[in-house]
Structure 1
Amino acid sequence: MAGRRTDTRERIQQVALELFAERGYDKTSLQEVAERLEITRPALYYHFRTKEDILASVVDRLCDSIDELMAWAAEQPRTAESRREILRRMAGLMEDQWRPMFRFAQVNQGVMQHNVAGERMRSRIVGMLSVLAVPGADAVKQFEARLAVFAVILGSAPFLFDMDLDEAERADVALEVAAKLVAD
């Protein structure tokens, strides 16, 4: 039974993010989320009372996955191969669960600026920027390490690049560029 509840919560989160990105956070109602899901409002309220609750739960998942990645990365040796593996894991998370949240954040920047969940997301991303940095490296290498994280993130933003690539190809190119930035 707990599995079904989790599946429903994840479906609600996914559909809500889609609607928030399509219509804007402020212009989307819980009624519209329920209608898109083909469930009743009381069924939706069982899982989430407000849009803020949905957004907070999505940001919680994102922050948890970033925390897990950063904890794993902290245990790895500071080698070029470890940095490439960190980037591969970031790219996998982007593909698996981060992309919808980043798209939402791009479209709803005002909401994210004035929201506790937005601040939590920003602080985790800032923390993640240093995970690839080599202690004691010069400023150029430190900057390249941070750019590598952004390369992976931006690889999922089709509107930023006028390139004839599908989503998977663009993500692969972004990962290749990021790996070059952190190579020894």
Structure 2
Amino acid sequence: MNELARSYREAAPDEEERTPRRTKQTSKASASRSDTRERLLGAAIELFGSRGFDATSMKDIANEVGIKAPAVYNHYKSKEELLAGAVTEALSAFNDAIAAADSSGAAPLERLQSIITAHILYQINHSRIAQANDRLLESGILSKLDPSVRHKVKGMMREHLDRLTNIVEAIPSPVTGSPPEARLTALAIITMCDNVLNWYRPSGSYTPEKICKHFYRLAQSMLLGRTSALES
């Protein structure tokens, strides 16, 4: 090896020294990119939900996050793609919270109480995102989505309803021995929990714990009759 080559080799850091530095820099960049994507999704849900999809520009979303508008396109190719990501992310977070609270091995009434509690607490603890996403889904926004994404979103929306319907079906009526219109009852329970944000106030007299317990009693009365629910 000539002297010039040797001097370059000796001056250069070993591969083991270089790799950790590159990995650390890459990890920081990936974390920053992931954080920006999450903030974009949150801003998109809130702005699309409050202003409407057509009235919200990519610049509006960029301003909310604190980046320049062209930078949004580093993460999402179009406003429609951002919408799809925002809606699926919000639904996924909700479904994950419900699934985490549910235990398939528990008694049906225990599962019912756990799911009602998880639903109400999610609405209260994530009120801005929950309200915005509810408004967004009620606005007919699904028509803006690609058919394949629309199909996925509808499936995600059914996930909670299917879970609750199965639980209701496992709770027979003490009078007839069969559940009363399981899917319709499940829809009523979901609507009741969804609408808690229409009147709930953190400074009000109804605490989240009290609301959860009362709503569970109401759901019981739908399934077991008022007397049985009050006695349980």
Q: TM range, normalised to the smaller chain?
A: 0.7 to 0.9
1:77 to 106, 109, 116: 106
Aligned in 2, Cα 1:136/1:92: closer, same or farther, shift over 3 Å?
Answer: closer
2:216 to 152, 155, 179: 179
Q: Whose RCO is larger (CA < 8 A, sep 6+)?
A: 1
* TM-score, normalization by structure 1: 0.74
Match of 1:95 in 2: 124
Q: Are 1:166 and 2:210 counterparts?
A: no
Structure 1, unaligned runs of 5 or more:
none
Aligned in 2, Cα 1:113/1:129: closer, same or farther, shift over 3 Å?
Answer: farther
The one-letter code sitting in structure 2 at the alignment partner of 1:91 is I
Q: Once the 2 structures are TM-superposed, how far is the Cα of residue 98 of structure 1 from its aligned partner? A: 7.3
* TM-score, normalization by structure 2: 0.61
Match of 2:190 in 1: 149
2:43 to 8, 15, 23: 15
The one-letter code sitting in structure 2 at the alignment partner of 1:147 is A
> Any idea what SS the aligned residue of 1:43 has?
helix
Q: Deviation string for 1:84-141 (max 9, x for gaps)?
A: 1222222233334575255344255121355316534433343244154142623437
Distance 1:171 1:154 in 2: 15
Aligned in 2, Cα 1:55/1:131: closer, same or farther, shift over 3 Å?
Answer: farther
Distance 2:195 2:62 in 1: 31
Q: Once the 2 structures are TM-superposed, how far is the Cα of residue 155 of structure 1 from its aligned partner? A: 0.7
Alpha-carbon contact 2:44-2:86 (below 8 Å) kept: no
Aligned in 2, Cα 1:99/1:75: closer, same or farther, shift over 3 Å?
Answer: farther
Match of 1:109 in 2: 139
The one-letter code sitting in structure 1 at the alignment partner of 2:161 is V
1:30 to 58, 78, 91: 58
Structure 2, unaligned runs of 5 or more:
1-27, 173-177, 221-228
The one-letter code sitting in structure 2 at the alignment partner of 1:92 is L
Alpha-carbon contact 2:113-2:216 (below 8 Å) kept: yes
Structure index of larger Rg: 2
> Any idea what SS the aligned residue of 2:74 has?
helix
Match of 1:57 in 2: 85
Of 112-121 and 15-24, the range deviating more from structure 2: 112-121
> Any idea what SS the aligned residue of 2:180 has?
helix
In the TM superposition, 1:125-136 aligns within 5 A as 125-135=160-170
The one-letter code sitting in structure 2 at the alignment partner of 1:90 is H
Q: Once the 2 structures are TM-superposed, how far is the Cα of residue 70 of structure 1 from its aligned partner? A: 4.0
Q: Once the 2 structures are TM-superposed, how far is the Cα of residue 179 of structure 1 from its aligned partner? A: 0.7
1:140 to 157, 180, 183: 180
Percent of paired sites with the same residue: 20
Aligned in 2, Cα 1:72/1:166: closer, same or farther, shift over 3 Å?
Answer: closer
> Any idea what SS the aligned residue of 1:124 has?
helix
How many residues align? The count is: 178
